[in-house]
Chains A and B, each alone.
Chain A
Amino acid sequence: DTGVSQDPRHKITKRGQNVTFRCDPISEHNRLYWYRQTLGQGPEFLTYFQNEAQLEKSRLLSDRFSAERPKGSFSTLEIQRTEQGDSAMYLCASSLVTQGNLAGGETQYFGPGTRLLVL
């Protein structure tokens, strides 16, 4: 399967614990995005990387959240001191940006998501 993969698919944790999620994008995709989706809502943007550089962070990304993409391939999203309000589906997406679509509009391909439940 050459799509976006995410691990784990499900995570149950207790409030106050730290959790880390991993995303493996489609090979050679240079852009990687993290979104969060709660029940009844559309996905909400958290942050994105162009290769290894984190270029934008949403206001939703509090200081308890950190994301990395150290070698420009896979990415991790860590949530420290989890709260019940962090319970959501965390979605990763990747895309290939070329000279032809630098202004945006390229197709983003989503992974299956990591479903987090904070008790």
Chain B
Amino acid sequence: RKEVEQDPGPFNVPEGATVAFNCTYSNSASQSFFWYRQDCRKEPKLLMSVYSSGNEDGRFTAQLNRASQYISLLIRDSKLSDSATYLCVVNRNSGYALNFGKGTSLLVTP
């Protein structure tokens, strides 16, 4: 079983739509959780960390369910510029390096 699993999509949504991505992780000892964004042929960039209490950054909301080992990302009022691959990321058992999911592809259309 992969350590971090995501639906690869693609998710095609119209501008203004709300879209949600989900992710599950296998290592119950993981302590740090993130969503990264990766544009085509570019490096990953941190979108937001994910905290147990859930957190919001503008149009983006991240949630963590430790009991179910499940992470989610909600994007409200999608913009064309949100089109990218969204990577679910969990720290490795050793604590420092990161385990990435395959990514979920999002295309926001006019």
Contact = CB atoms under 8 A, between A and B. Distances in A.
Interface string B64-92: 00000000000000000000000101011
For B87, B89, B100, which residue has the most chain A Cβ atoms within 10 angstroms?
A: B100
A43 B87 CA distance: 9
Contacts, number: 56
Given A41-B102, A56-B96, A103-B95, A108 B46 contact: yes
Contacts of A91: 43-44
A105 B98 CA distance: 9
Given A40-B102, A111-B43, A56 B32 contact: no
Contacts of A31: 96
Given A42-B101, A42-B102, A43-B100, A104 B95 contact: yes
Contacts of A110: 43-45
Contact of A45 (B31, B46, B95, B97): B97
Contacts of A40: 8, 102
A17 B8 CA distance: 35
B94 interface: yes
B31 A103 contact: yes
Interface of A: 31, 33, 35, 40-45, 48, 55-56, 58, 91, 103-105, 107-113
9 contacts: A31-B96, A35-B98, A42-B101, A43-B87, A45-B92, A45-B97, A48-B96, A103-B95, A111-B43
A-B CB proximity, top 7 nearest = A42-B100, A105-B32, A110-B43, A104-B95, A45-B97, A104-B91, A43-B100
Interface of B: 4, 8, 31-32, 42-46, 49, 87, 89, 91-92, 94-103
